[in-house]
Amino acid sequence: MATSEAHRGSAAEQNAAEQNAAEQNAAERDAAALDAADELRALRDRFVLDDTVYLDGNSLGALPRAVPGRLADVIAREWGELRIRSWTESGWWTAPERVGDLVAPLLGAAPGQVVVGDSTSVNLFKALVGAVRLAGDDRDEIVVDAASFPTDGYIAGSAARLTGRALRAVPAAAIPATVGPRTAAVLVNHVDYRTGELLDLPGLTAAAHAAGALAVWDLCHSAGALPVDLDRHGVDLAVGCTYKYLNGGPGAPAFLYVRAAHQERFDSPLPGWNAHAEPFAMAPAFTPADGVTRGRVGTPDILSLLALEAALGVWDGVDLAAVRAKSLALTDFFLDRVAVHVRPGAAELVTPVEHRRRGGQIALRCADAAAVMDRLIARGVVGDFRPPDLLRFGFAPLYTSFADAERAARELGRALSEAAAHP
């Protein structure tokens, strides 16, 4: 009987294993079919990739193939041979605006409104102080989304302190009821860096405007992941980084968007010589340059800026609507596969399921999240861990495949099981 039971058990296990294998084969066929039908699949060749499933493009984008050769030329020829002549002959001086105009279409911005340089934090400081000054002296508060990426809150606090304004941090949902005649500016992150929730840019911008306030958006987690449409929605100022979905490289320079209508009155708190109307006149008095150039500060960081310029070539001919469609399809597929591979209760979905509330990343909450992510990375799937308990998976549609999503879900299930078995 024991033998018989063992035999029956073994047969059941075998059945289950066969069923799993069949199911797995079906899933892999599904992924392969989705990849075959993916109109963006050829873009993957524009990147340097390997066997790793890289789902951290929401933190540091993969290396575009064009970058190493371009940077080698910038260093050896433009710097090494032409040296100082490159400021004019190699177009270094105008790179902040030129690269800005490459970023602009990805933000839904007409040319002449985006300048690239400095970090996101520094640009946020320019944008917030600039917004407060545009709003006028009778508006004495800055409202920020309380769930913002921390630097946004810290910098907003400094901008408020230096301009004599109050800082009010409220949940994003409370912003429409919070803004009023005292509000100078509202700062919101387009996508929550932890949960991956996509905030309502048109609605919150309209709410700020209805109160007579300016809307300032942090696009770090949306630029390159989905259409942003800054011009269409009347956003006043925006900032964002270029090293996530824009693949500009580690710490690549950030961007600042100043709506054309505001540029003439935009009054930067960092009026460096690059923002001057005649920078080489070396005049003692500051006269701001026309246009978005007045958002520049000091000498532009050429190596990083030109690496970014080369990296932005991957967007040639890419339709952002297709990027968004693939992003949602990828994350939908990933969630379906997670439901199959991850046993119920092992991880909780933190990202909203509704498309209109989802950015380009999926966040899951689980026990021992740091250890689970370590195991997952050891299994060749790279996401990241955010304290205290979040696993984040960024799906960069230009180089992430449905097969990647399938493998990630499968390995996640294994990593969670391992971690539960060996806590």
Helix, strand, coil share (%) of the chain residues, nearest 5: 50, 15, 35
Q: How far apart are CA 246 and CA 233, in angstroms?
A: 22
Q: In the 8-state DSSP scheme, what is residue 148?
A: S
Q: Is residue 307 involved in binding its own copies (CB under 8 A)?
A: yes
Footprint of its own copies on 367-386 (CB under 8 A): 382, 384, 386
Distance CA 115, CA 95 (A): 9
User: Is residue 281 within the footprint of its own copies (CB under 8 A)?
Assistant: yes
Q: Which is nearer to its own copies, 86 or 327 (CB)?
A: 86
Please say which residue, 178 or 299, places its beta carbon nearer to its own copies: 299
Q: Does 241 bind its own copies (CB under 8 A)?
A: yes
How, if at all, do strands 381-382 and 53-54 pair?
parallel
Binding flag, residue 280, its own copies (CB under 8 A): yes
Per CB under 8 A, the list member of 119, 176, 365, 374 interacting with its own copies is 119
- Residues 140-199 touching its own copies, rule: CB under 8 A, are 146, 149-151, 153-155, 157-158, 162-163, 169, 194
Residue in 303, 321, 339, 367 binding its own copies, rule: CB under 8 A: 303
Q: At what angle do helices 402-421 and 369-378 cross, to 10 degrees?
A: 120
First to last CA, the chain: 36
CB 381, min distance to its own copies, A: 12
DSSP 8-state code for residue 307: H
Burial class (CB in 10 A: 0-12, 13-18, 19+), 153: middle
Whether 400 and 341 have beta carbons less than 8 Å apart is answered as: no
Residues 336-365: x/- map of binding to its own copies (CB under 8 A)?
A: ------------------------------
Smallest distance from its own copies to CB 33, Å: 28
- Does position 121 bind its own copies by CB under 8 A? yes
- Judged by beta carbon, residue 101 or residue 384, the one nearer its own copies is 384
Closest CA to 296 of 61, 92, 85, 78: 92
Q: Using alpha carbons only, what angle is made at residue 125 by residues 211 and 176, rounded to the nearest 5 degrees? A: 20
Catalytic site residue 218? yes
Shortest Cβ distance from residue 136 to its own copies (Å)? 16
Look at the alpha carbons of 299, 302, 303, 306 in this order and tell me if their dihedral is positive or negative. positive
Using DSSP, state whether 184 is helix, strand or coil: strand
Our answer to whether residue 182 is catalytic in this structure is no
Spot the catalytic one: 165, 244, 326, 410.
244
244 flagged as catalytic: yes
Give 241 or 419: the residue with its C-beta nearer to its own copies.
Answer: 241
The answer to whether 195 is a known ligand-binding residue is no
Q: Do 201 and 161 form a contact (C-beta atoms < 8 A)?
A: no
With CB under 8 A as the contact rule, the residue among 9, 180, 181, 298 that binds its own copies is: 298
On whether 299 is known to bind a ligand per the annotation, the reply is yes
CB of 187 to its own copies, least distance (A): 14
Q: Indicate if 243 belongs to the active site.
A: yes
Active site residue 326: no
Q: Binding of its own copies at residue 63 (CB under 8 A)?
A: yes
Confirm if 57 and 331 have CB atoms less than 8 A apart: no
92 binds its own copies (CB under 8 A): yes
Look at the alpha carbons of 148, 151, 153, 159 in this order and tell me if their dihedral is positive or negative.
negative
Per-residue x/- track, 65-84, its own copies (CB under 8 A): --xx--xx--xx-xxxx-xx
* Rg over CA atoms, the chain: 24
Q: Which of 193, 243, 245, 402 is catalytic?
A: 243
Active site positions, annotated: 149, 218, 243-244, 392
Binding-site residues, in ranges, read: 120-121, 149-152, 218, 221, 243, 273, 299
